[in-house]
Structure 1
Amino acid sequence: MADRLTQLQEAMDQLCTMFVAAFYYIERHHDLKSFGPNDKIPDLKADQPKEVETLDPETFHAGQLELARDLITKEQQIEYLVSTLPGLDNSERDQLQTILDLEEEIVAAEAQRMEAVRERDEVLRRLDGILGVGRRPQ
């Protein structure tokens, strides 16, 4: 699993992509309306591609609602990731103490590993002695 900062960066990238997709959806499927008395909606010629594919109001609103929910969900995921990062709750001294504690655990684990290696070597030496006695001379 990726570290928290990588997860946060990926979530931010996804949020930006979602924003672009939402803008595209709204820009591509909005209803054609004029906002002022001088505004005119141009007539399209037969060979011109449609710039806007107007959706019925219910479908358009449902799409907007789904996009908004997705954006909110992603934003909440980002907030959670940010809350798990060390920050104001963990001072530099606390973080240093945590590192020192982890280093002590590593030293203890290494000592246990070395003891296990010594025990293994001793057992192998005794086993070789036992097997050596039981072998027939060649």
Structure 2
Amino acid sequence: MPNSLPSPPRPETLREATSINMDRITQLQQSIDRMVSIFLTVVDKLNNTNLQTQDPQKFKSEQQEIVHDICTNAKQIELLIAALPGINRSESEQIATFKALEQELQEANEEYQRSIQNAESLLKQILDTISIIAKDQSSSTFE
């Protein structure tokens, strides 16, 4: 089956990969919810409608509409599943991708830790500077 969903550009970062995949998962969940809603509507209609007294033309039209909705939604679900990461990749490729993402996560965490240390150092410098200025201000007012 040809994939009618546009292929997103290859993510460069873990954040981009996660965002793309979560968007696909959200779309998949919405499609599944839509399918459940269609089925519930059909069951409710069958339970609450006297099929003997319903106009046959209207009934046939409603059937065709429901079948169309189910088929369209099923195709959408199939495309979204096919677009999920790892579906068309070997186990070794998935492991390699996971290791690369793990390395990227580790590097990002190290950068985050360095940023925290840098921020703490800057905060100390600012507090020291404020303290010096406050001492200078208080000593100059007493002179």
For the criterion TM > 0.5, the same-fold answer is yes
Change (3 A) 1:125 1:19: closer
Secondary structure, aligned partner of 2:117 = helix
1:129 is aligned to 2:136: no
Counterpart residue number, 2:60: 61
Change (3 A) 1:131 1:70: same
TM-score, normalized by length of structure 1?
Answer: 0.63
Q: CA deviation at 1:18?
A: 3.8
Moved over 3 A (4+): 1-5, 13-29
Counterpart residue number, 1:98: 97
Q: Give distance in 2, aligned partners of 1:65 and 1:134.
A: 80
1:112 is aligned to 2:131: no
After superposition, residues 50-89 of structure 1 pair within 5 angstroms as 52-85=51-84, 86-87=86-87, 89=88
Change (3 A) 1:133 1:26: closer
Secondary structure, aligned partner of 1:116 = helix
Which structure dedicates a bigger proportion of its chain to helix?
A: 2
Secondary structure, aligned partner of 1:90 = coil
**Which residue identity does 2:131 align to in structure 1?**
G
Q: CA deviation at 1:105?
A: 0.8
Q: CA deviation at 1:100?
A: 0.6
Q: CA RMSD in A?
A: 3.5
Structure 1 unmatched runs, 5+: 30-50
Q: How many residue pairs are counted as aligned between the two chains? A: 115
**Which residue identity does 1:122 align to in structure 2?**
S
1:58-86 CA distances to partner (integer Å, 9 max, x unpaired)? 21221111111111112112211321232
- Asked if 2 retains the 8 angstrom alpha-carbon contact of 1:15 and 1:74, the reply is yes
- Percent of residue pairs bearing the same amino acid type: 22
Q: Which has the larger radius of gyration?
A: 1
Counterpart residue number, 1:42: none
Secondary structure, aligned partner of 1:94 = helix
